[in-house]
Chains A and B, each alone.
Chain A
């Protein structure tokens, strides 16, 4: 509990002065608010005195201030009442502006921190993460935290102020009656505690489930082509129905706690009111207190009503915020594994020589090492081709070069420096990987192409030409300014792939890595691209992964990887002579047609 409060305080800390001003205003609001019923009491006493002709008696609270009811006329009383009300409300404005607005600021900073952290987390995290969960985190959970530090704090402090100030006034009016009215308080504390705990648990459960539901929906929409193509809509709907029903059940479980919360607090107020009515009434009868005091008492106890319900509300907000903050902290606690060393090496002049020494790597599943004892030397400006069966570890190898996953230290070197010791930004400037399946942002073609922003306008066209894409882009309605649909839906598969190649070239790296980037491109385009790449690779180091002999044929060295091992290596000619897997594949592919 205290650690929770600490983490909330940490959130509020940068805004603490605003909160201070806001809460001070809140205090003034309450002070004025609590005092005004006193004047109501005076007005009633005056009325009664006028009616019965008896001299008006003075309520203790006025007596304490050295005043008497007879000092007041009705007009004066009412004017004072109004003055206090206006004052109370005037302070409401700063109260909101200095608590509610900063609370949103806290929300923004939580949101930013979340996104900042997500931007730092690497592949290993995103491989396992559920995007529905992450979305829920960024929307609902951030909001729940915001509610806790905004309305939660405001209402919570409100309760505190009002309850204390009302209690002070009540004690001044009649301490006996006050004690009697306070009988339900311990019960309230107990009940709120129990209920709010249940609410906390159930709310968290609902949020978790919402993440799953969101993900289910997202997958169905993203894979609609398959679902419709195989006419599996009915199955998919049935599954969604299950998810939705489960979500309904969990929500109802939460509703059961939630529904009794307010009424229960209200009941406690009712008990207080009843007690005041009985005992206060008896005091009036016995002449121990005035009618006005009794009325003020009733009103003040009612003043406790708002706060009591508010108290329940704020406890429940706090519980929800606590649940959400815990979820956020869980994410923030995910260590950023792929990051710069504390003292990263300053790069020496980059030439682009790659060296891999005795690299063994496993993903950390049960299925053993994905790569075993790989050693390769690629001198600056040279090129290496990688070929091998499905799932052999080709992509794994190139992913390690750019540290999408971290290779063990002392295994992968760029210009003699361990990639683990280089600055990430520097490494990824020098080595650019065009991945096997591209992601296109729903932005313009030009901006997708020049992602790094290093390329100038004319260059963009040049790179598009190199990837044999220029003509087709020109054919689009707005050329390079066409905004691509989600993931580039309005392009054909081959067009998307070529955009990925152009994008990688545009980043102008020292080492260019193409992971099977021509699989959806027809043979003659492929040929043209490969010719163009010769120019690109003239002053760069190249790594080309492909299933096709023609793509790797021109490389200085070709590696055949099977099941994580290098099984053959050498130049195209040498491998053909060796008459192994590679030669076999080459033969097959040349029989094509």
Chain B
């Protein structure tokens, strides 16, 4: 668990308000996480994001190329309209850029009857054609950008998933499933906005501003200066906005994550909410969160409501200045009315990209925050990996197990859970672990599959330290029936085989072996029956039987049964026992059980207490010792029969 001691700076302003409204301790923690400053222009992060474009480089360049063409086309109509005006208007005159248009002039000359009507029609046709081209180019730009964005996002999503599924269990315990799911779907989705929306528009807008500035300078420098001069002011306004909106955005992000986590948890725990009449309390909790959300969102809107007018008034000021200066320059004959007209249209056009960028700022900010969270996950190194010495050819074949003075704790600060455990089991033998709850039995089984690494000592299988195996080969050598059953949404068959190629006979034999055939046959569709999430419509015992069948079906050298029949009745249990003798002949088994009958025939019984082995031997030996185990057996006998 996360130490709660990391002193978060005291929340102020909107953050404090939201916290107080929600009255939720977990929100405070999430807010602290959000407060980890994400640098907007974190170049490393941006570089990393851009690197995802590399596999799609041709598409990326195509998109940028198309965007450039579109930017060029976007500047043309205003220019041409001004030009047309000068050609027909009484106020026409020489224009600066005319030199560039010599070729164009020749085409114009070709228009033999140089009547004004013809000129106008010609410009009309050109402008119309340009617009048509823009339609094609614009549509293609949009689409190629979208394809690019979605592909990148798909890549990231798959990568994040693969990375997370390679992490170790300890890491999973620190990161709630809901959060990890959010990283893989929600955050990646947010990031998609960055790629298909912000990037696309951003590239186009920046190119557009660039082209526009060049054309304007070409037309008239002083007027261009006014417009270009207004750009820094617009940017400054955007920065001020960001400063004010930032805490509110952060709070909103935290509240949203909290709401999602809240939902995920309460959807899973709905039955407990009903059984313990928590509906009103939960309702109140959620309503409080929505109130906090509303408050922080309102603050963002308020900041935005001030930003936008400020920007628009600035542009209006720019227009006024252009008109004022333009009046002078036209009347003194420096520029034509047409040029003035072009400029006026540009003033309207130039601020749009800037506005877009600011508007997108919100989104970019959120997307970058998401990106950062994703990168955090991707940067987390699994606590467990194949060691460099791991031998790729090594396989678990015989199934001998040895623990040598194993010490272990779940976290370095936590208590020592195993305190010097040593034992040895030969191939085909049965090892039984008994002891109080919390003694460390499940922990021993987890160490076998190397879900955790020991603190000191060795865990050996077939005489090799488990760290000498590649993880996948090690784990393929063991089958685990865990204490808490996991059932996936999907067919019964898939749940048992986990998608592996398992011969039908073996599958059927395993199912029959655990006596699951009776209830599976009752299900509609039998093996192909599709189970709900978590197998909710099965009884607890039925779920456990499926989980057991799964292990038998893989039938590797070592079988680990952690309370595998705890929810199964004695009759069925006995039948399974008999079947096991046949199905797992020659396999080593590790059995954890509270019911001593199950382990009577074990070759080695270890009695654990608080992480230590206090007695060992087979049943007969232990009974002879007349120690704790014998006492346990006797007590069991007494209570079970009711014969006092």
Contacts and interface: CB of A to CB of B under 8 A. Distances in A.
Given A225-B486, A232-B499, A493-B484, A217 B181 contact: yes
Contacts of B635: 523-524, 527
Contact of B177 (A222, A244, A273): A222
A89 B311 CA distance: 9
B241 interface: no
B621 to A, nearest CB: 14
A293 B571 CA distance: 97
B279 A120 contact: yes
Among B154, B186, B274, find the residue whose CB has the most chain A CB atoms closer than 10 A: B274
Contacts of B309: 89-90, 92-93
Interface stretch (A64-72, A160-168, A361-369): A361-369
B275 A494 contact: no
Interface size class of chain B, counting residues whose CB lies under 8 Å from the partner chain: 35 or more
Interface string B122-148: 011101101110110011101100110
A224 B271 contact: no
B386 interface: no
Contacts of B293: 104, 108
Given A248-B151, A259-B146, A592 B597 contact: yes
Given A112-B290, A490-B410, A522-B437, A51 B331 contact: yes
Interface in A219-265: 219-233, 235-237, 239-241, 244-245, 247-248, 251-252, 255-256, 258-260, 262-264
A273 B127 contact: yes
B489 A85 contact: no
A523 B77 contact: no
A233 B449 CA distance: 15
Which residue of A96, A229, A256, A453 has the most chain B CB atoms within 10 A of its CB atom? A229
A77 B323 CA distance: 10
Nearest to A86: B313
A195 B281 CA distance: 45
Contacts of B169: 224-225, 228
Contacts of B89: 48, 284, 291
Interface in B427-441: 434-438
Interface string B451-490: 1000000000000000000011101101110111010110
Given A92-B312, A277-B123, A43 B327 contact: yes
Given A233-B165, A285-B120, A549-B640, A47 B267 contact: no
Interface in A283-319: 284-285, 291, 294-295, 298-299, 302
B221 interface: no
Nearest to A403: B274
Contacts of B236: none
A376 interface: no
B130 to A, nearest CB: 8
Interface residues of A, number: 183
B277 A101 contact: no
A524 B4 CA distance: 36
Interface string A334-374: 00000000000000000000000000000101110000000
Contacts of B116: 285
Contact of A47 (B158, B274, B277, B326): B326
A228 B165 CA distance: 8
A231 B475 contact: yes
A104 B298 contact: yes
B642 to A, nearest CB: 5
Contacts of A86: 313, 316
A115 interface: yes
Nearest to B262: A115
A498 B437 contact: yes
A593 B596 contact: yes
Given A128-B532, A263-B134, A520-B563, A244 B158 contact: yes
A74 B323 CA distance: 9
B420 interface: no
B173 interface: yes
B273 A367 contact: no
B301 A493 contact: no
Contacts of A88: 312
Given A81-B320, A277-B123, A228 B294 contact: no
Contacts of B259: 111, 138
A10 interface: no
A131 interface: yes
Interface in B237-270: 259-260, 263-270
Given A232-B500, A520-B594, 20 more contacts: A40-B344, A85-B313, A135-B264, A220-B161, A225-B486, A226-B550, A228-B165, A233-B166, A278-B124, A299-B345, A388-B569, A439-B272, A451-B276, A475-B415, A483-B1, A493-B442, A548-B640, A581-B571, A588-B597, A592-B637
14 contacts: A78-B323, A101-B301, A127-B537, A251-B146, A255-B196, A259-B142, A263-B135, A281-B85, A299-B348, A390-B572, A404-B274, A435-B275, A492-B437, A550-B642
Please name the 9 residue pairs, one residue from A and one from B, whose CB atoms are nearest each other, closest first.
A494-B437, A270-B131, A390-B541, A592-B597, A259-B142, A89-B309, A278-B124, A263-B138, A85-B316
